């Protein structure tokens, strides 16, 4: 947050006053602020990047939330929440995450924290045409860095970890994901979507039906 904005933010907290962007009229507000960050604000104050007075105002009551890797019992709840959210956007029937896939999700360490889990679940929902999200929809990163695969071997082929590293997605799978993302970004505006993708509207409709992305 820019230092100038920090000053305005502090004023809004202390006096309940603010001005709209481009405005001159002072407006009153009576709200409580709930602020979240993944940055160490104390270190930022020592570097001069964050106002100390604002820091002390914001830290009057703090709740420290451990990273996702330290509270893995939350992963199933969060995964299903993100799944229900994305399928509503995609107008799809809600699939179920298989027990085996959930094991991999539980074993992964999530350097990107909750947002990484969210993006992962969205990706699985986009790639899958089935009612069950299984290990096949998991990205290589999850399958190769999970403790589950470290010591497993496929007889006559080799270590499972090495096999997974050879995984390649088909062009159709990639195309389906790209089209779904474009539809989501344009709020299912077919004309805008066809422009973004550089294809005709007739072709777009055909691919929507082909990949089961229709809103019906």
CB 18 within 8 A of CB 12: yes
If one compares 207 and 178, the residue with the highest pLDDT of the two is 207
Same domain, yes or no: 76 and 115: yes
Range of the domain at 80: 68-143
The CATH number assigned to the domain holding 120 equals: 1.10.8.60
46-56: average pLDDT: 93
Same domain, yes or no: 73 and 55: no
Q: Choose the final residue of a domain: 59, 84, 100.
A: 59
CB 127 within 8 A of CB 174: no
Same domain, yes or no: 24 and 77: no
Q: Choose the final residue of a domain: 37, 59, 81.
A: 59
Q: What per-residue confidence (pLDDT) applies to 146?
A: 58
Q: Does pLDDT of 150 surpass 60? A: no
Same domain, yes or no: 75 and 124: yes
Q: Confirm whether 149 is domain-assigned.
A: no
Q: Confirm whether 30 is domain-assigned.
A: yes
Q: Does pLDDT of 161 surpass 60? A: no
| 40 to 4, 36, 43, 50, 106: CA distances (angstroms) | 20, 11, 6, 10, 27
Per-residue confidence band for 144, with pLDDT thresholds at 50, 70 and 90: low
Same domain, yes or no: 183 and 128: no
Domains identified in the chain, total number: 3
pTM of the predicted model as reported, rounded to 2 decimal places:
0.56
Same domain, yes or no: 122 and 164: no
CA-only gyration radius of the chain, Å: 23
If one compares 174 and 121, the residue with the highest pLDDT of the two is 121
pLDDT per position as a tens digit, 56-105: 999 888 888 888 989 989 999 999 999 999 988 888 888 999 998 998 89
Q: How far apart are CA 174 and CA 57, in angstroms?
A: 48
Q: Does pLDDT of 140 surpass 90? A: no
Q: Does pLDDT of 117 surpass 90? A: yes
Q: What angle do CA 117, 123, 128 make, to 5 degrees?
A: 130
Q: What per-residue confidence (pLDDT) applies to 187?
A: 79
Q: Confirm whether 148 is domain-assigned.
A: no
Mean pLDDT of the chain: 82
pLDDT per position as a tens digit, 163-199: 444 455 567 777 887 888 788 778 788 888 888 888 9
Same domain, yes or no: 72 and 139: yes
Q: Confirm whether 82 is domain-assigned.
A: yes
| 6 to 38, 40, 41, 50, 56: CA distances (angstroms) | 17, 16, 13, 8, 13
* Residue whose structure tokens are 């082929």: 157
């Amino acid at each position: 947050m820019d230092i100038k904005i920090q000053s305005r933010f502090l004023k809004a907290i202390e006096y309940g006053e603010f001005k709209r962007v481009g405005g001159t009229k002072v407006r009153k507000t009576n709200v409580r602020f709930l602020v979240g960050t993944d940055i160490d604000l104390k270190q930022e104050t020592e570097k001069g990047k964050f106002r100390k007075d604002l820091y002390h105002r914001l830290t009057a009551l703090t709740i420290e939330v451990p990273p996702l890797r330290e509270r893995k019992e939350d992963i199933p709840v969060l995964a299903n929440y993100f799944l229900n959210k994305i399928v509503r956007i995609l107008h799809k029937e809600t699939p179920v995450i298989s027990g085996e896939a959930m094991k991999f999700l539980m074993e992964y360490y999530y350097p990107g924290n909750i947002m990484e889990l969210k993006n992962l679940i969205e990706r699985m929902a986009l790639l899958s045409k089935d009612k069950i999200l299984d290990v096949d929809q998991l990205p290589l990163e999850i399958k190769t860095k999970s403790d589950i695969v470290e010591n497993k071997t496929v007889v006559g082929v080799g270590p499972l970890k090495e096999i997974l590293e050879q995984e390649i997605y088909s062009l159709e799978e990639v195309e389906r994901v790209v089209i779904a993302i474009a539809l989501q970004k344009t709020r299912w505006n077919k004309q805008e979507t066809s422009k973004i993708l550089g294809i005709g509207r007739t072709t777009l409709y055909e691919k929507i039906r082909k990949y089961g992305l229709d809103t019906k």
